[in-house]
Structure 1
């Protein structure tokens, strides 16, 4: 978990390295530079949310893990490698959002990160001797159907964006907005099934 914390922290830090305004600009050039920075800020915000959610998910998955084996380690390293890669497609989306390949590459990276988490859940579900007793929490807990649905919805939404991006271009990014109602519905379902409120 310490390695994962470090990788996610570095990946999030790398997201901000492209956010800068040159020195010595006139007032009009300064306003233009800020306007040109807006796509970078949007991409930063999206990737910060994505990496934050997956970091939280990674910690939730491993909260109940008592020991690991080679497959769990391999899947974890693969997932961390994809997480470390996220700043690259983020820059592509920020600077070349009108290019269909940029949107498709970003969507593929996010879906791949989610797929590694789903694979970890599957491996741990099939190897109960690796898990300890799960700790109760209001958010979807690791190993539960709710958590898998939450994670799976993210993977599916971003996977669907790949062919949409290649067909319709950057308009496909609007499909990512489906995440908002999807997460709300899953959250309400989770509260209803666990009996929590708020």
Structure 2
């Protein structure tokens, strides 16, 4: 285990994360534009050309929103940070800040297998950083003051791990079968639905035990 030396509260890391996610979301829309002076036919053609950008924007907005929510939740249990927590947070934020680039690749060259693979790899890397951060905190209760997710670290971690696995597996799949590999991302919908219901039951059981105790 790495040596863990508490280095203050998590407030600055959380503030930095909020800023990085906000900037990354803003960068997603900077390339949206329609030239002036177009006639009706050209205007509608430009709008049709923006459709892939809008689709990629919505996808990345959802992804960044989910990871921002998870980052906030993880740090809701943190009372002290150490060097490893800071390092893993910075790695994840670095990937989050990079996400507008693979989003643009997906929007403009979505028919290229490499674009899909690069996008999937970025999402898997972002999820892996959060999963590593959660694993470090799970094994270092002194950084949390004993606080933990009501459903437990295992179920919380499985929710993040599902995203990592699905997107990581879609990297070689994209290179093998092409952009159709993006359909594999839909596997996350039922998987995370099941994990969400399991987490809800676990939280309910915890609340019931507390009420009885």
TM-score (norm 1): 0.92
Pairing partner for 1:102 from 112, 115, 138: 115
d(CA) in 2 for partners of 1:135 and 1:115?
20
CA change 1:123–1:136 in 2 (3 A) is: closer
Q: Summarize the alignment of residues 24-35 of structure 1 with structure 2, pairs less than 5 Å apart.
A: 24-35=37-48
Pairing partner for 2:125 from 101, 107, 112: 112
Larger radius of gyration: 2
TM-score (norm 2): 0.86
Cross-structure match for 1:185: 194
Pairing partner for 2:155 from 146, 157, 160: 146
User: How many angstroms does 1:132 deviate by?
Assistant: 2.5
Q: Secondary structure at the match of 2:172?
A: helix
- Segments of 5+ residues of structure 2 without an aligned counterpart are 1-13, 206-213
Cross-structure match for 1:4: 17
Q: Output one character per residue of 1:69-125: Cα deviation in whole Å (capped at 9) or x when no partner.
A: 111111111110000000000000000001111000000000000000010011111
Q: Output one character per residue of 1:7-65: Cα deviation in whole Å (capped at 9) or x when no partner.
A: 00000000011122111111111111111111101100000000000001111111111
User: How many angstroms does 1:3 deviate by?
Assistant: 0.3
Q: Secondary structure at the match of 2:31?
A: coil
Cross-structure match for 1:15: 28
Cross-structure match for 2:167: 158
Count residues in correspondence. 192
Q: Secondary structure at the match of 1:195?
A: helix
Pairing partner for 2:176 from 156, 163, 167: 167
Contact (CA 8 Å) 2:138, 2:153: kept in 1 or not? no
Matched, 1:52 2:65: yes
